[in-house]
Amino acid sequence: MSSFPLTPNNRITRLPKRGEYDLDAIYSILDEALVCTLAFVREGQPVQIPTGFCRVGDKLYVHGSVGSGYMRAMAEGMNVCLSVTHVDGLVLARSAFHHSMNYRSVVIFGTTARVTDENEMYLALEAFTEKVQPGRWNDVREPDAGEWKATLVLSITIDDASGKVRTGPPKDDDEDYTRDTWAGVVPLKIQRLAPIPDQLLKEGVPMPDYLK
């Protein structure tokens, strides 16, 4: 499968030319996001949780405490909607109406399940840590028995997926191009600032190469 099939759930109906269903494109948007929002229905009402997540193969994973009410509810298997958005730029048009943003977003409809296979759980926890900082897993203490028991890992199957992407300059109405109004794009980028060592860092421990 190289793209997600169109269904009533994932078809982009507003501005369909911005729709993106290619598998690699959707995975790439997901993988770049540090957090997602996870939506579910509780007593008929919509609820959202912002949370970290990762992808391994064709599944998404979130994790939390075994003491968390919503994690325990999802462990039983729930329909969820998960989304991520990257804002890549401010699109300043000549008219208020055509102001926009450049963005890449993905919306997933999926089903949760508790991960009980120890190998799958280990790989998911490794992927979480490596997502926060590639190269990190080999440097840190792995989960001990108590931490392992306290952690609930959920897998989310991707039942439907769609992306939506806007790039490029503003698109104005023909008659507005003669206006004396500056128009263009202000690109936005997430910048990593210099790492701040913990004040309790053991003396002599160097900063790892992957942070330089």
CB 212 within 8 A of CB 206: no
Q: Which is nearer to a copy of itself, 77 or 197 (CB)?
A: 197
By CB under 8 A, the residues from 44 to 103 that bind a copy of itself are 44-50, 52, 64-65, 67-69, 79-83, 85, 87, 90-97, 99, 101, 103
CB 185 within 8 A of CB 169: yes
CB 169 within 8 A of CB 184: yes
Q: Which is nearer to a copy of itself, 34 or 117 (CB)?
A: 34
Residues 6+ apart with CB under 8 A from 118: none
- Residues that bind a copy of itself (rule: CB under 8 A) add up to a total of 93
Nearest to 7 by CA among 28, 18, 17, 21: 21
The least CB distance from residue 48 to a copy of itself, in Å, is 5
Q: How far apart are CA 4 and CA 26, in angstroms?
A: 9
At residue 138, what is the residue type?
Answer: N
CA distances from 8 to 2, 39, 58, 152, 187 (A): 19, 19, 21, 32, 33
CB 171 within 8 A of CB 114: no
Q: x/- contact string, 11-50, with a copy of itself (CB under 8 A)?
A: --xx-------------------xx-x-xxx--xxxxxxx
By CB under 8 A, the residues from 96 to 125 that bind a copy of itself are 96-97, 99, 101, 103, 105, 107, 109, 125
Q: Which is nearer to a copy of itself, 2 or 75 (CB)?
A: 75
By CB under 8 A, the residues from 128 to 147 that bind a copy of itself are 128-129, 132-133, 136-137, 139-144, 147
Q: Which is nearer to a copy of itself, 2 or 67 (CB)?
A: 67
Only one of the segments 17-25, 54-62, 113-121, 193-201 lies at the binding site for a copy of itself (rule: CB under 8 A); that segment is 193-201
Q: What are residue 45's phi and psi, to 5 degrees? A: -105, 145
Q: Is 205 in the site for a copy of itself (CB under 8 A)?
A: yes
Q: Which is nearer to a copy of itself, 116 or 138 (CB)?
A: 138
